[in-house]
Amino acid sequence: MRSWCITLILVALCCLWSLSGCERQDDATVIRLAHGLPITHPVHKAMEFMAQRLDEKSAGTMRIEIYPGEQLGTERECLELMQIGGSIGITKVSAAVMESFAPAYEVLSLPYIFRDEAHCWAVLEGPIGREILDSGEGVSLRGLCFYDAGSRSFYSINRPIHEPADLQGLKIRVQESPTAKQLVNTLGGSATPIPWGELYSALQQGVVDGAENNPPSFYLSRHYEVARFYTLNEHTFVPDVLLVSAHTWEKLTAQQRTWLQEAADESSAHQRVLWKKSSDESLAAVEAAGVQIIRPDKSLFAEKIAPMLEQYRDDPELAALLDRIRDTEVQGE
């Protein structure tokens, strides 16, 4: 009887371990990583680079199994699985999606808060960025690093967008982000949250009149086949964020955590190089495919959403964070 009970306990422990997003296989710790992007995306390629570096650093004792293309769920579903210690150990989501889990991420979705790309990365790779990554620990979502997601701009099906007035009456797909919804509504459009995987058909069927995203996502998703106008107003620099489940993190030794964090940081630097190349190539490709590229006066959009930013200053903590972001110095400036 005692032997039988011990066997049951061991089986139960093995099941719990395998359901935590982190399991033992052939004397190696294997972590499942799920995300919603295609394998051609620079973020996926950066994750493959991270998996390779982790394998090298740990001498094969740690591995990452990657499940792309929403194989294991949408962004939100992956986050929720991680929170309960489910079958996923690591995921990548937009920082905008994290607003509902950790409010500090909200600041990254605010429009025109960064002077340029260099200023954005000076913030994300400095103390402010680390504070934001750590802010999800209370909800079991520890931030590892940020990935470059470029600047988000509008694309539309039937009419070009040259200024905010052109958004009037248009249903624009946004992420499940309160800030993104407010931004589009403030500019005059009608914000319509739709999961990324459903957006192509939503554009094709006229459920929405347009969306907003960066050049690689616009191109690799093939949304340019339907939306023939792309307006580079660059209203936000919302990064992607790589997260590890607290349940998975707690199972790792101090040395394993160091290896994982180092591999993530190296993948972030690698991804930025891949991103720049992909962004340039994507913009050229959609233009060659007949998409009309519009380069508007960005100040018109910035002026329109200025009252929105002032509302956020009513929150003392957010106001202080905005001031710190504004005052962040960029090396060489």
CATH of the domain at 160: 3.40.190.170
CA-CA distance, 241 to 148, in Å (whole number)?
Answer: 9
Q: Exposure of 32 by Cβ count < 10 A (0-12 exposed, 13-18 middle, 19+ buried)? A: buried
195-221, pLDDT tens digit by residue? 988 999 999 999 999 999 999 899 989
Q: What percent of the chain has a predicted confidence (pLDDT) above 70?
A: 93
Q: Are residues 110 and 205 in the same domain?
A: no
Tokens 């200025």 correspond to: 306
Which candidate, 81, 213, 87, 239, places its Cα nearest to that of 156?
A: 213
127-150, pLDDT tens digit by residue? 999 999 999 999 999 999 999 999
The helix (run of H) or strand (run of E) holding residue 155 is: strand 152-156
* pTM as predicted: 0.81
Q: In the 8-state DSSP scheme, what is residue 291?
A: P
Q: Are residues 273 and 287 in the same domain?
A: no
Q: Are residues 305 and 295 in the same domain?
A: yes
Q: Are residues 90 and 125 in the same domain?
A: yes
What is the predicted pLDDT for the residue at 20? Answer: 61
CA-CA distance, 136 to 242, in Å (whole number)?
Answer: 12
- Angle, CA 106 vertex, CA 104 and CA 109 arms, to 5°: 140
Cα–Cα distance list, 40 to 36, 243, 287 (Å): 12, 21, 19
Average pLDDT over residues 262-280: 96
Q: Are residues 135 and 271 in the same domain?
A: yes
What is the predicted pLDDT for the residue at 13? Answer: 33
Q: Are residues 51 and 114 in the same domain?
A: yes
Q: Are residues 273 and 293 in the same domain?
A: no
Quick check: helix, strand or coil at residue 76?
Answer: helix
What is the predicted pLDDT for the residue at 333? Answer: 63
Q: What does residue 114 show for φ and ψ, rounded to 5 degrees?
A: -105, 140
Q: Are residues 44 and 62 in the same domain?
A: yes
Q: What percent of the chain has a predicted confidence (pLDDT) above 90?
A: 74
Quick check: helix, strand or coil at residue 82?
Answer: helix
What is the predicted pLDDT for the residue at 7? Answer: 35
What is the predicted pLDDT for the residue at 179? Answer: 86
pLDDT above 50: residue 252: yes
CA-CA distance, 194 to 175, in Å (whole number)?
Answer: 7
Domain hosting 182: range is 152-237+282-327
A 10 A CB-CB count for 217 gives: 22
Q: Are residues 208 and 81 in the same domain?
A: no
Confidence of residue 18 (pLDDT cuts 50, 70, 90): very low
306-325, pLDDT tens digit by residue? 988 888 888 888 888 999 99
Q: Are residues 41 and 165 in the same domain?
A: no
Q: Are residues 27 and 164 in the same domain?
A: no
Q: Is residue 194 part of a domain?
A: yes
Average pLDDT over residues 120-125: 96
Q: Is residue 5 part of a domain?
A: no
What is the predicted pLDDT for the residue at 184? Answer: 96
